[in-house]
């Protein structure tokens, strides 16, 4: 199996889609097939959703910080070298 091929261990039992991690699999099931989930799967989905939300929030803050640094960096470069 090549590194690009998702592990078939995490295959959706309803639509057949494959995933690299169990978190991606449970997030897919929670979004696409919530009616077919058991209580344990729903609990796992909630935990994965909270973790994913925190990761996305962290990424957004870091991306905004990098944009601010780049903006002011280029602004100061322009002020120093173009004037
Ligand atoms: Zn599916």
Domain ranges of the chain: 8-81
Distance 17 CA to ligand 1 centre (A): 6
**Taking 50 as the threshold, does the pLDDT of residue 1 lie above it?**
no
Q: pTM of the full predicted structure?
A: 0.70
Distances (CA, A) of 81 to 4, 18, 22, 76: 46, 52, 51, 8
pLDDT tens figures, 43-59: 999 999 999 999 999 99
Q: Is 5 helix (H, G, I), strand (E, B) or coil?
A: coil
Distance 56 CA to ligand 1 centre (A): 22
pLDDT tens figures, 13-45: 999 999 999 999 999 999 999 999 999 999 999
Distance 2 CA to ligand 1 centre (A): 22
């Amino acid at each position: 199996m090549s590194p690009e091929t998702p592990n078939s261990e995490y295959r959706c039992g309803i639509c057949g889609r494959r995933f690299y991690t169990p978190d991606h699999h449970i997030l897919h099931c929670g979004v696409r097939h919530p009616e077919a989930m058991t209580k344990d799967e729903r609990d796992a989905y909630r935990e994965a959703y909270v973790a994913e939300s925190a990761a996305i929030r962290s990424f957004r803050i870091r991306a905004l910080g990098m944009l601010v640094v780049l903006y002011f960096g280029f602004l100061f470069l322009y002020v120093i070298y173009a004037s």
